[in-house]
Amino acid sequence: MDTADATEEELARARSAYRNRGRWGADDALGTLNFLDNGKRAHAASLVRRGRPVSLAAAGARWHTDGHAAEGFTGRGVLLDVARVVAGPGMELPDGFPVREEHLRLTIEAQGATSSVRRGDIVLVRTGQPARCRRLDDWSGYEAGPAAGLSFSTLGWLHRTDIAAAATDTAGFEVRPHEFPSACVDPLRQIAIPDLRLPLGARFDLEELAEDCAADGVYEFLLVAAPLPVGDHDPVGGSPVNPIAIK
């Protein structure tokens, strides 16, 4: 079997293993946002202790989904600061670093109970790439160059945890270059969005939030992150968003 066939075989296996399409009916537009119900939103509101809003907006921040679902993106947000736990305070993950399930679990354990991931959560994963781009005043590789990001192997974790949505601070969400030996475009995203029905966020600015969470040791918060109703839905380009974490 050549490398291209092996890649297609692995993608087909993942489509079958992590398929949620049809789970909530043929006309469903929410996908995994169905896990985030009114009770979970009410609990998320109770997490607000100081009333401090932290903007996660950055140029180009957006959700990538396969339907309009603006009302669904309000709930319990959880920051997994993988960069701080794996690379160390003040450090960033190196470009091309694949964030695997073991790194997510290690981060949850290191951060404590407030970062436990539950059904219906919106999970934010920090790689620290934007911090390095700002420090070096060099964004030339941010959009399309190598980047840390979630490994294709995390699809099992994303599926098993029943989270509502996930976002990162990179432009592509998943690790670049991808982990397959043959040419393949966004392998994680091409399974997660249409088959797992999981909205993926990109270009979120997580730096101020990460500092706040590290300072008070609380990694959960109310997250209000509805996509803006601008133009037609574009699953490739995504929908612009102005996400706000309230602690």
Instruction: List domains and CATH numbers for the chain.
Output: 3-246 (3.50.30)
Percent of the chain with pLDDT over 70: 96
Strand duo 149-150 + 244-246: pairing: unpaired
* pLDDT for residue 148 is more than 90: yes
Q: What is the mean pLDDT of residues 91-96?
A: 97
- For the entire predicted model, the pTM comes to 0.95
* pLDDT for residue 171 is more than 60: yes
Q: Which residue bears the tokens 């690379």?
A: 87
DSSP code at position 217: T
Strand duo 149-150 + 98-99: pairing: parallel
| Cα three-residue angle 107-110-113, rounded to 5 degrees | 95
| Listed range (43-57, 172-186, 204-218) with the worst mean pLDDT | 172-186
- How confident is the model at residue 158, as a pLDDT? 98
Q: What is the mean pLDDT of residues 48-66?
A: 92
- How confident is the model at residue 230, as a pLDDT? 63
* pLDDT for residue 2 is more than 90: no
User: Facing residues of 78 across strands?
Assistant: 123, 220
**Prior bond of 177 cis (ω within 30°):** yes
* pLDDT for residue 69 is more than 80: no
Rounded CA separation 222/52 (Å) = 10
- How confident is the model at residue 224, as a pLDDT? 97
Percent of the chain with pLDDT over 90: 83
Identity of the amino acid at 228:
L
Identity of the amino acid at 238:
G
